Structure 1
Amino acid sequence: MRVLVLGAYGLIGTYVSLRLVADGHEVAGLGRRTAQAARRLPGLRWIAGDLRAMTRVESWVEPLRGIDAVINCAGVLQDGPNDKVAAVQTDAALALFRACEESGVRRVVHFSAPPSGSGTPFETTKRQADRALADSSLDWLILRPALVLAPQAYGGTALLRGLAALPFWRPRIAGAGLLHVVSVFDLAETVSRAIATPALTRRAYDLAHPASISLDDLTRAFRGWLGLAPVASGRLPGWLTAAVGRLADLAGWLGWRSPARTTALGELRQGIAVKPEPWIADILSHPVSLEQFLIAHPATVQERRFAAGYFLKPLGLVALAFFWVATGVLGLTAARGEAVEALLRGGLPDGLAPAAVVAGSVIDIALGCALLVARTARPALIGMILVSAIYLVVATVLMPGLWLDPFGALLKIVPSIVAALAMLALLPDR
């Protein structure tokens, strides 16, 4: 069967696509960043497409050509510069469903989310798409997974690993509701059976293990899975959790998809209420529990390093950005005269030294600001490494005595280069 998977390089889409390929299906993946996806998942045929712009039926004519079934794994948590919740989860989805009806693609498996009653745009747009699909003439299946467990860490489960690995204290988020979990392999198995079983149609299923768990118990379980010794836990006050959510929202508008944004916190307060019994009765009689999943996928040094460094990435990026902006501001204000005198002593002409200080300071500020924006963070880090190397070479030629400066004026540039290299390595989020 020829299957089109939307969001094929996302967390769920990756495992679903690989399972369908293993089953012998021809899988086409649709997404924005297909070049990198093709390197990660070479067994798929890739179609470049931006769901934000695919809100008309005509947008789907070519992607659906020759397709027998569609799996929609695409989803957006919250609006941002690169994400539009309504466009992706409602407008594009409705256009897709109508295009399937017109093109004769009957089978549509649509990943949604369990009803939470949170009233967030994430939840309301999911419900709108669900209703539109249910009212269509298609052979549809709506799958609503709980918190997805996967070997790959992304989104909420990545945050849980980071919280579990904090060295001296394990926070408890006030007001968090009970959760349910589901293995990503159970999701892939469900899609595999749905594609192979035409009778599984026009049904909506909650996908989850029946046992509920608190967020505190979940982070404790992850900490034990990582092989870390127990630490004291403490309740995060509501105002602090809200402040973190607002900061994460701000980061979201800079392009960073933090799982701690207010939408995620709102869904977390509601908890995940599911009724998995129909799914268990019809499709998968023994879904994997949290304990079984963790036992089957033991943590290695890679998982421990990821969890330990989870919060170091945002801290490191902010610290580097502050360092570069601060040095630039100082170069334009309090330290400008001293910097010009140092360059004059090094042999720079009178007219060139002040201009060099101003230019260097402006470059520092620009690189620091660019680092805070997700789209420009990578070139900013590369720029920091190159500019730091230039500073070292120029200073060594003009003022070699700075290597013996008791405050380490030049020596400190070396660890800043290493810090930029470390942030460059930690930058990818999947």
Structure 2
Amino acid sequence: MRILICGGTGFLGRHIVNALMQQGHDPVVRSRHSDPALDFVRLSTAQDWLPHLQGVDAVINAVGALRNRPDTDLQTLHMTAPAALFDACAQAGIRRVVQVSALGVDKGDTLYASTKRAADDYLLALGQAGELNPAIVRPSIIFGSGGASSKLFVLLANLPILPLPQIMRNSQIQPVAVRDVAEVIAKLATSDTPCGVIEIGGTQPLSIERFIATLRAQMKYRSATVRILPTRLSTASAKLGDKISWMPWCSEAMALLENDNVTDPATLRNLLGHEPLDIYQMIDTLPKGGRLG
């Protein structure tokens, strides 16, 4: 199959491309950094998208950002452009559309959650109208080489004294390996089985504090000395992250952690058809075993 991947040069997108190729399919990669380049936010109508859908059998939307940037607002990136893409797919007769969303967007009121949820709902409505056959994938925290949050987790895991916001001790996540998420998405894109919303999480839920501890253990380090930051400093650290465009820790991320990010681990296992990567094996997927320097 010939499959268009929007965001195919990004962290998850690159792994999806590899998974599709391994399964014998023909990925068509489009992003601002592809050749030819595709500026996602400028394609705001179905007519804008139709020329990019010629000869395409299915579409994967893996475009996303955690917060607004000077050249990109989340409303356009997560809702306006994807809605136009979904409409174009319906007009072009492309039934299978896979939308990469995130676990927990149905609960939060952050800009990230609300804009992702709006696109999910729009796609579901097209599915309910019989115009498309959508699969909306909502993964928990994705871990792997090249991921911004993964880099932050590894950086923290290398610290012998670990300052953490209280929410990183209280909130539960369910880290899932990027290669497992990519494999699932590739399989869904090449299937016509009705899906709707699919929640994906790794083998077990745990706090961010505990996850960082597992990473340290995999790097053969002793347990870190954890210092929980008071609320004022936790908020200040997130606001500092707001000013650093590449930093995954920011006010938006802090707000998202107010709800646990967990689901049934059996879903991932069933979709893969084999055991997913365990959290105690994740460091081995990174260059140099995750060590800095």
Contact 1:70 1:107 (8 Å CA) reproduced: yes
Q: Is the 8 A contact 2:7 2:30 kept in 1?
A: yes
Residue 63 of structure 2 corresponds to: 74
**Structure with the larger helix share:** 1
For the 8 Å contact 2:112–2:252, the answer to whether it is kept is yes
Give the counterpart letter for 1:134 in structure 2: L
Please report how far the alpha carbon of residue 212 of structure 1 lies from its aligned counterpart in structure 2 after TM superposition: 0.6
Name the amino acid aligned to 1:265.
M
**Distance change >3 Å, CA 115–CA 232, structure 1 → 2:** closer
Is 1:170 matched with 2:130?
no
> In the alignment, which residue of structure 1 is the partner of 2:254?
265
2:197 partner amino acid? A
Structure 1 pair 95–250 and aligned structure 2 pair: CA distance change class (3 A): same
Percent identical among aligned pairs is 25
Q: Which amino acid aligns with 1:304?
A: R
Q: In 1, distance between residues paired with 2:67 and 2:210?
A: 27
SS in 2 for 1:233: strand
Which residue of structure 2 aligns with residue 59 of structure 1? 48
- Partner residue of 1:340? none
Q: More relative contact order in 1 or in 2 (CA 8 Å, sep 6+)?
A: 2
Paired residue for 1:188?
Answer: 182
Partner of 1:373: none
Question: Which structure dedicates a bigger proportion of its chain to strand?
Answer: 2
Partner of 2:217: 224
* Contact 1:114 1:144 (8 Å CA) reproduced: yes
- Letter of the structure 1 residue corresponding to residue 291 of structure 2: R
**2:291 corresponds to 1:304:** yes
Please give the residue correspondences for 1:228-267 in structure 2 after superposition, counting only pairs within 5 Å.
228-251=221-244, 256-267=245-256
Instruction: Give, in whole Å, the separation in 2 of the partners of 1:196 and 1:89.
Output: 23
Deviation digits for residues 350-381 of structure 1, max 9, x if unmatched? xxxxxxxxxxxxxxxxxxxxxxxxxxxxxxxx
Match of residue 209 from structure 1 = 202
Q: What number of residue pairs does the alignment pair up?
A: 286
Deviations 1:165-198 (A, max 9, x none): 12x4012320230110111121122123223432
For 1:262 and 1:64, how far apart are their aligned partners in 2?
A: 37
The structure that has the greater radius of gyration is 1
5+ residue gaps, structure 1: 35-45, 309-430
| TM-score normalised to structure 1 length | 0.63
- Report deviation, 1:282: 5.1
- C-alpha RMSD over aligned residues: 2.0
Q: Deviations over 1:274-293 (max 9, x none)?
A: 24444544554533221243
**Offset at 1:51?**
1.5
